[in-house]
Amino acid sequence: MKALKTLVASAVLAMSTGAFAATVLPGSETSLQTIINNAYGGPGASPVSAAPNVNTNQAGAELFQIEASGGSIATMILEIAGNANINTFGIYDPYNTATQLQLFSGSASSGAQVAITVDASNQFKAVDLTNGGILGSMLFTSSTFGYYLSGPGGTFFSQASQNGGNEQMVSYQGDGDTVQFPGRATGVWGSSSYVLGWEDQSLSGGSDRDYNDMVVYVESVTKVPEPGSLALLGLGLSGLAFVSRRKQKGAK
């Protein structure tokens, strides 16, 4: 019984924090910690002391779904990579990673915004809120999606399992702090919004692990557990139910 409880606890922990945690280094450019801190401390914003720590406050989010409204907005906070004019950013189908919908091109800059919508048939559409126009539309297997970053260093996915186990992205979930991102009014960073920090070089070689090559704010999304975590949780709950039935039977 104790082992089964431990199994369930492990599954819940994996679902809530993610299977991996990345170590974010300061790097030689503006650090990810500084980029996030810059959203705090201004007029009407929460103090800098309330900002998440880039190493200890990671959300472990890898897959997402848009909330019930069917719409989400992605906002470019900063891109300072050497490949900034080449890198592209978008969403992908975790059941077929070749199915991708680009949101930002290499010409996108700080403050750029793209709206993503999804309908009942899992058709995703991207609309450029900065320059106007529809960027594209793509049919996904389900309403679940991940984010990707692509450039000369390769194409990297929000799922570490799709990068050979490497965490190329770190995520931070809002908790109600008041922040101000570049070009935007001060507002609440709520629990359905995340800051995503990316590495555009493989962690297996060449990466400086500062996760500031592209930093994006995504809103109106919820974190979806990895399929493996769901299976583990189901196994643990089934085991607890079995033991409970045995106890009830023995008490008769």
pLDDT in tens, 12-26: 444 444 445 899 999
What does the pLDDT read at residue 57?
Answer: 97
Share of the chain above pLDDT 70, in %: 79
Is residue 88 within 8 Å of 216, Cβ to Cβ? no
CA distance 216 to 146: 13
Q: Coil, helix or strand for 36?
A: helix
Is residue 77 within 8 Å of 195, Cβ to Cβ? yes
Asked if pLDDT for residue 127 goes beyond 60, the answer is yes
What does the pLDDT read at residue 145?
Answer: 98
**Least confident piece of the model among 104-118, 142-156, 164-178:** 104-118
Average pLDDT for residues 167-186, to the nearest whole number? 95
CA distance 178 to 220: 16
What does the pLDDT read at residue 107?
Answer: 74
CA distance 111 to 216: 10
Instruction: Give the model's confidence band at 137: pLDDT under 50 very low, under 70 low, under 90 confident, else very high.
Output: very high
Q: Which ranges in the chain belong to alpha helices (H)?
A: 2-17, 32-37, 227-251
| pTM recorded for the entire structure | 0.83
Is residue 39 within 8 Å of 220, Cβ to Cβ? no
**Domain residue spans in the chain?**
1-19+228-252, 20-225
197-229 burial by CB neighbour count: b if 16+ within 10 A, else e? bbbbbebeeebeebbbbbbbbbbbbebbbbeeb
CA distance 189 to 46: 10
